[in-house]
A and B are shown apart, each in its own frame.
Chain A
Amino acid sequence: MNTAVAAHCPYCALQCGMTLTPREPGALVGPRDFPVNEGALCQKGWTAASLLDTPDRLREPLVRRRRGEPLRPAGWDEALDLVAGRIRELQDRHGPDAVAVFGGGGLTNEKAYLLGKFARVALRTSQIDYNGRFCMSSAAAAGTRAFGLDRGLPFPVTDLRDADVIMLVGANVAETMPPLVRHLRRARDRGGLIVVDPRRTATAEQAALHLAPRPGTDLALALGMLHAVVAGGHLRRDYADARTTGLAQAWRIAARWRPEEAERVTGVAGACLRDAVELLAGARNAYLLTGRGTEQHSSGVDTVSGWINLALALGLPGRAGSGYGCLTGQGNGQGGREHGQKADQLPGYRRLDDEAARRHVAAVWGVAPEELPAAGRSAYELLDALGAGTGPRALLVFGSNPVVSAPRAGHVARRLAALDLLVVADTVPSETARLADVVLPVTQWAEEDGTMTNLEGRVLLRRRALSPPQGTRTDLTVLRELAVRLGQPASRFPDDPEEVFDELGRASAGGPADYAGISHRRLRAGEVLHWPCPDRRHPGTPRLFLDRFAHADGRARFVPVDHRGPAERPDPDYPLIATTGRILAHYQSGAQTRRVADLLRAAPAAYVEVHPDTARRAGLADGDRARVVSRRGTVEVEVRCVPTIRLDTVFLPFHFPGDERANLISNPALDPTSGMPEFKACAVRLAPANGERP
């Protein structure tokens, strides 16, 4: 008789607790009491077991010797030999950087760690980055420069339950993380929920105060609010003096942003902006939380700094019962950005350009520090450089589907097609896998052990609940096998998750994200461990910054930032602003959720949300097929008239493939600090699908 195994949902960064009871085939999802979700799940969670027996699950490697030929089944040795041989060939001819690696924020800590090590040690390439660049990079950079450390929520998510006021900026949690809404109830029911979103989302519907800025103007709003804090006498000068630096410089800029100036740019009434400030300043406990809506901009880092400045002026960060945090999106979006799959990073959230960090990690890896490559290209720059000029000639993709999820997706697909070698490790034939020369079938969440670090920095052990399908291997085994074929000693690339995690702990020891004291054993024993956790007796750190921030002087930094606005603005040819986002039934590129019948039934296709007046002016009505055209491409989708959306704004969900890819139109203008593309604001026009040709 099969027994229920404690498990975690395979999707977002909440990592809701659930039970999995193996069946033949697949498994059954059941409720499990876990602080983040209290037994609740959204539709994605309840139906997650469908992923385990999806009909088109990859069960054997696929290869093609030439482009244009169909992929055909192959044995593991043939596939791995082919990959390793081509890698050697390309690196011999073009140097180590001819081979690039692209990872994902859904990979376990063990995989993310080993992938980074594989790139730097086995491939000796600088060309590695991951899809978290499109997700958390702006908040991460802003958090690091403000606090000296980036952990999405520096407090347990359950702390939100006691707040009087919570301000959500660019976060539609009622659709993207439904169980989180349970923790917002107290604030909401007391009239203390403030939501900043250009759309009247399911989350905004619940807010006492909904501020709807024009897309791309969030920083002007944050500056106006900082102005109102000072002008209204709400500045916490005692806190600013004792715990921060840089207020004067940040204020000099905010001084120019009277709420009336911010109003002109954002469209949010100065009076509403002041109301929001009064609510926050009058609260005993208050939180300010940001999401992708405010972060996915070419000025995303500065925008988040603007929000952090506001939180600091109100004295929220590092105060028990209050704080600033960003809501991490991907399942392991937190751990995935800490252990070395990022272009400029080594495990433990160390920097690749830090000599001491290089020495430490090189010693753990048994290589010389100078053998470690320098920092490489950020995700979009990497994809943009593929197969051209000095760019990489081969790409190995793990846990990502950039053909759907990268900005200017049409161009990205063309770059992938220009490669000499594309290798994709995945569980299903994703849109990116279909373009590959070699597809490697790997195991997934309930079929293997591994740790995930959720949005509150808590490290969770995901246990194997059932056997993987015949013919699949774990990503760890794939990396080990490739490394050995590339001349590495097998002992340097363990594929036992527990062994890999122990090595990760040593590599991260002494770094900002210190996992040294965490072990699978402690997690199996039920310990609740938030990093940093430097030794085996350390209880972990659920709440950061209560006594000091992580900069050397212990103080948080106000950062002087000013509003720039989106890289592309509406003009007579492209008069509307398109913004993109997630919907409840789907997750990321949809490679998983579009294979779940219930979810596909709930949301079968992409659409564009348009104000009825805007639709009518474009000759469109609810339900019509429309073309949404930008300078980069055209999406063809159904019109959904929504009277609450701004007249100048349209919205598209980004989970759908082919001609319905929202990223065909998105703008790859990058943030200069984080490399985040501008997913959330680009100029478009709208036309009937059967009319104008782009």
Chain B
Amino acid sequence: MRPRRVVIVGYGMAGARLAEQVRARDPEGGRVALTVVGAEPWPAYNRVLLSGVLAGTMTAADIALHDPAWARGNRVRLRLGARAVRLDRAARTVRLADGASIGYDALVLATGSRPWLPPVEGLADDRGEPAEGVATLRDLDDCLRIVDQARPGVPVAVLGGGVLGVETALGLARRGAGVTLIHPADHLMERHLDRTAGMILAALCRAAGVRAVTGRAAVRYYPGEGVKLEDGAFVPAAVTVVTAGVRPETGLAADAGLAVDAGIVVDDRLRTADPLIHAIGDCARAGRAPQGLVQPAWEQAAVLADLLTGADGTARYRAGPVVTRLRAGDVDLTAFGETHLEADLTALGETHLESDSPRAEVLSYVDPARGTYAKLALADDRVIGAIVLGLPDAAATLTQLHDTGGPAPGDRPALLFGRALPQAVADDPARLPDSATVCRCNSVTKADLVRAARSVGGDLGALMGATRAATGCGDCLRTVRRLAERLEDDSGNTTEGTGT
């Protein structure tokens, strides 16, 4: 049987992953003949790591997903620098900008998303592209250009205080640029954070050298000079970076008459209404709106590879929980689930505060001076949401509890702070209970040592010989010595006492 011709439009993180997953299931290409069409001129790279390139911790070579020989070595026909311009569903072909036409038995749209330019006067040119001096942060080219321009001391404006905006602002500040982060909402990352967290995050940004301006939108862009805000204030900037969110690339699908609603609409088999056409990643809407996150794209790639190769015809995609993670410089932030609930104090007879879920339990800890914040929402003993800033241990545990749906531990403070509060160590052997094991290597308890001292006395060597304490790893030697001293003192006292 002739292998099924699968064409993947898009050689970004989703498309590249799908190609790998197909070949992992069909290494010889007996079931699927694979063609990948990529608009950029180089092999796929890990877009998630662009912030690392921006911050200077990684090079362009470090973030490549494939080496140039990858396609040949994996029986993939790869068309680089090729833009798909039209789908012909009746003829089952995809037309490229250079006029070439590629036939398919199954087509996958993995076209990703493009940065959104907010309606700020002068920000876009006549064609809707970024004006001179304006950069977005979508591809490697953007990134290298910004790195080149945002040198130490150069004033930079970052428009949009979401995750990418904050990360970019911190990365550029680290490179020495004078960064102003402009965000129209009242606090940073308002979709993910409550007001307190947003305020603390802004303070952390300030400490890292980023001026955060919130509650004021940019209204006008002056090339090479800066940005005017709605209250008339002016932010000077030689470079303006726009991080105001992305819009899915849905043009090909829409033109071909497929349903688009904040993304190409697909079912749990990642199919559009045309059963031969699929969509995954940022351009697709599988259940919920696109997130700009890589995790769903990779999960979708695995499911679609199962279906396209026939490795598992029952595979279905179900959106998993989404976690927002921001880490840049000293800022370590995690947010997921219900983050806007407030503590319910009705049980205390106080005024009822707002809460969407009547059974929700909300705990929080705020330390603005140290930039630490933790808020935790639970329902039925399950973690349903959290914001954790500056307590990375706690974030890791909470995220896993959220992902697995497992019950939360009863020790809520330990959960909130990430580790059990340190236990007081009984340093004085006199305060050890008799049953306490002093020497683990030889199973010697304090009672054993006391008993041995009655027959051999408190001499350290004699005690060690009699009990074998401290003759293994030797770590309890100090405790045994102190105990021996005390036992010797005690036996001395006893003798005196008997004498009188």
Contacts and interface: CB of A to CB of B under 8 A. Distances in A.
Interface stretch (B130-138, B198-206, B306-314, B470-478): B470-478
Contacts of B442: 42-43, 46
Interface in A267-324: 267-272
Contact of B332 (A180, A268, A270): A270
A584 B440 contact: yes
A618 to B, nearest CB: 11
Interface in B47-67: 48-49, 52, 57-58, 62-67
A613 B408 CA distance: 9
Contacts of B62: 230, 251, 255
B116 to A, nearest CB: 25
A42 B441 contact: yes
Most chain B CB neighbours (cut-off 10 Å) among A178, A269, A617: A269
B327 A270 contact: yes
A252 B472 contact: no
Contacts of B410: 612-613, 616
A35 interface: no
Q: How big is the A interface, by class?
A: 35 or more
Contact of B58 (A175, A230, A570, A585): A230
B472 A41 contact: yes
A40 to B, nearest CB: 5
A182 interface: yes
B114 interface: no
B473 A182 contact: yes
A31 B470 CA distance: 13
A546 interface: no
A613 B414 CA distance: 13
A260 B325 contact: yes
A601 B473 CA distance: 21
B443 A264 contact: no
Contact of B57 (A31, A179, A233, A252): A233
Interface in B375-406: 392-393, 395-397, 399-400, 403-404, 406
Nearest to A249: B67
A179 B64 CA distance: 47
Interface string B23-61: 000000000000000000000001011001000011000
A244 to B, nearest CB: 17
B327 A260 contact: yes
Given A42-B441, A255-B63, A214 B472 contact: no
Nearest to A231: B57
A267 B397 contact: yes
Contacts of B468: 41, 43, 46
B447 interface: no
Contacts of A40: 471-474
Most chain A CB neighbours (cut-off 10 Å) among B410, B420, B471, B474: B471
B409 interface: yes
Contacts of A270: 327, 332, 392, 396
Given A214-B400, A613-B410, A643 B475 contact: no
Nearest to B388: A269
B81 interface: no
A264 B336 CA distance: 12
Contacts of B46: 255-256
Interface of B: 46, 48-49, 52, 57-58, 62-67, 295, 323, 325, 327, 332, 392-393, 395-397, 399-400, 403-404, 406-407, 409-411, 418, 420, 440-443, 468, 471-475
Given A255-B62, A267-B397, A270-B392, 12 more contacts: A43-B468, A178-B441, A182-B474, A206-B475, A230-B62, A256-B46, A264-B323, A264-B399, A644-B420, A647-B407, A647-B409, A648-B406
Interface of A: 31, 39-43, 46, 174-175, 178-182, 202, 206, 214, 230-233, 248, 251-252, 255-256, 258-261, 263-264, 266-272, 570, 575, 584-585, 598, 601-602, 611-613, 616-617, 643-644, 647-648
29 contacts: A31-B471, A39-B471, A42-B441, A42-B442, A43-B442, A43-B468, A46-B471, A174-B473, A179-B472, A182-B473, A206-B475, A214-B400, A230-B58, A230-B62, A231-B49, A252-B64, A255-B46, A255-B62, A260-B327, A263-B395, A264-B295, A264-B323, A264-B403, A269-B418, A270-B332, A612-B410, A617-B407, A643-B420, A648-B406
